[in-house]
Amino acid sequence: MAREKVITTVPADEVQKHDAALRPKLLKEVIGQRKVAERLEIAVCASKKLKEPLGHILFDGPPGLGKTTFATVLPNELGTSIQLTSGPALSKPADLLPFLTNLEEGSVLFIDEIHRMPRVVEEFIYPAMEDFRIDIVLGEGMSARTISMNLKRFTLIGATTRSGMLSSPMRDRFKMHEHLEFYSVEELAQIVRINSAKLNTPITDAAALELAQRSRGTPRVANSRLYWTRNFAAALHDGKITEDIARDALDKAEVDREGLDKNDRKYLETLIDLYAGGPTGVEALAATINLASDTLSDEIEPYLLREQYITRSPRGRVAMPRAYTVLGKIPPRPKPEEKPQPGLFD
Ligand SMILES: Nc1ncnc2c1ncn2[C@@H]1O[C@H](COP(=O)(O)OP(=O)(O)O)[C@@H](O)[C@H]1O
Ligand SMILES: [Mg+2]
């Protein structure tokens, strides 16, 4: 299914370019995710001491929280190389061969969106993960024979926005599973300050906080909002980002005071106005908003769920009182059966 990127204030390829420029290179430059970073530090240290490749690692979590960052930081820490590919690019086992034959001892193979790798490729990779070996079938029919090929010992790092869609044999072959969480406002403010320095843009602490509060708990969003604000400050002011300038820049980008963007509000408006607040299925919402349902469930909903704008019920998505408030609407009264019993709470 075609996937669309969340619409940000900056085109996606610009965002990717800045992702690479602003991405931390070492574990100590990674902000937040302390527990994950500590476990990885231990794993890296053990791998060096024991002279063994790092065990295979799976990162999961919504987009923009640092999965690729962790995957690219680890080979730097280990002093080894990395090859990058993604699930949808691997349509058949042969697509994996160039990567597997290029491996160096202890190097990293990173597969992004690993849940989208076809089953045949998944099965082909199992012996590579377990015994650093692949089985290649030569010829067809009666004359077919299998040859086994040994590989260099390597580390597979997988990233997924949907760990639930990964088959359990695949999941079980990873030694470490790390789930990335949304970031606190303070952590995002720190990222914004560090990255404005990288962009040679002066920023006040209050402005960094304003950007952080309006970045959906997500470093990639913070980077793209910082990038927009930097351009705004350069174009209309003297280049320095103050709190007022940050506020004006984000208002102009139609990012509201809670940090929700046009797509978030469109989602909530559709759920409330067209579907009476739900419950409604994600497919129906996606069709109405004209976005891929993957975009809704991978990129828009995780933050709305976490901030309790919506909940998920067995019958579909439901708008919470906070969703009504943020859109300036009045939340419906609770249904009679949900009303507290008189006298129960007084
Ligand atoms: N923990 C972090 N500390 C500092 N910056 C981060 C962190 N996580 C992500 N970023 C920034 O956000 C951008 C997007 O992160 P990325 O690793 O590409 O997310 P994902 O792969 O999960 O979609 C990175 O380029 C980096 O600049
Ligand atoms: Mg990524």
pLDDT in tens, 45-71: 999 999 999 999 999 999 999 999 999
d(CA 129, CA 154): 8
**Is residue 148 domain-shared with residue 81, that is, in the same domain?**
yes
Each residue of 85-111: pLDDT tens digit? 999 999 999 999 999 999 999 999 999
- For ligand 1, what atom is nearest to the CA of residue 30? 3
Q: For residue 16, which ligand has an atom nearest its CA?
A: 1
> What's the predicted TM-score (pTM) here?
0.90
What's the confidence (pLDDT) of residue 21? 82
Residue 154 shares a structural domain with residue 219:
no
Gap from CA of 66 to ligand 1 centroid (Å): 4
Same domain, 204 and 175: no
Out of 220, 221, 299, 303, mutate this one to test ligand 1's pocket (max ligand atoms within 8 Å of CB): namely: 220
Per-residue pLDDT, 138: 85
For 117-155, write each residue's pLDDT tens digit: 999 999 999 999 999 999 988 888 888 898 999 999 999
Same domain, 295 and 193: no
Same domain, 321 and 219: no
Say yes or no: 68 and 115 in one domain: yes
Q: Are residues 97 and 168 in the same domain?
A: yes
Q: What per-residue confidence (pLDDT) applies to 137?
A: 84
Q: Residue 221 domain-assigned?
A: yes
**Which ligand is closest to the CA of 86, given by its number?**
2
Contact by Cβ (8 Å): 63, 161: yes
4 located within any domain = no
Domain CATH number, residue 242: 1.10.8.60
216 CA distance to ligand 2 middle (Å):
17
Q: Which ligand 1 atom sits closest to the C-alpha of 191? A: 4
Q: Is there a single domain that holds both residue 131 and residue 49?
A: yes
List the pLDDT tens digit at each of the 346 positions of the chain.
444 333 334 445 555 666 778 999 999 999 999 999 999 999 999 999 999 999 999 999 999 999 999 999 999 999 999 999 999 999 999 999 999 999 999 999 999 999 999 999 999 999 999 999 999 888 888 888 989 999 999 999 999 999 889 999 999 999 999 999 999 999 999 999 999 999 999 999 999 999 999 999 999 999 999 999 999 999 999 999 999 999 999 999 999 999 999 999 999 999 999 999 999 999 999 999 999 999 999 999 999 999 999 999 999 999 999 999 999 999 888 766 655 555 544 4
If you measure from the C-alpha of residue 26 to the centroid of ligand 2, how many angstroms do you get, rounded to a whole number?
A: 16
How many CA within 13 A on the CB side of residue 177? Answer: 14
Nearest ligand 1 atom, CA 62: 22
Residue 144 lies in a domain: yes
Residues of the domain holding 267: 262-331
Closest by Cα among 157, 258, 253 to 216: 258
Cα distances from 305 to residues 83, 129, 256, 260, 301, in angstroms, run: 34, 35, 18, 13, 6
Distance separating alpha carbons of residues 115 and 95, to the nearest angstrom:
16
Which residues lie with the beta carbon below 6 Å from any ligand 1 atom?
A: 19, 22-24, 30-33, 63-69, 159, 191, 219-220, 223
Residue whose CB lies within 8 A of the most ligand 1 atoms, among 14, 23, 179, for a mutation test? 23
Domain boundary among 115, 147, 179: 179
Residues with active-site annotation: 67-68, 112, 161, 220
- pLDDT value at residue 336: 66
254 conformational bin, left if phi > 0, alpha if psi -120 to 50, beta if neither: left
CATH number, domain of 274, equals 1.10.10.10
Of the listed ligands, the closest to the CA of 36 is 1
- Measured in angstroms, how far is the CA atom of residue 189 from the centroid of ligand 1? 14
* Torsion angles phi and psi, residue 3, rounded to 5: -110, 135
Backbone phi, psi, residue 298, to 5°: -90, -35
CA of 238 to the centre of ligand 1 (A): 29
Residue 335 pLDDT: 67
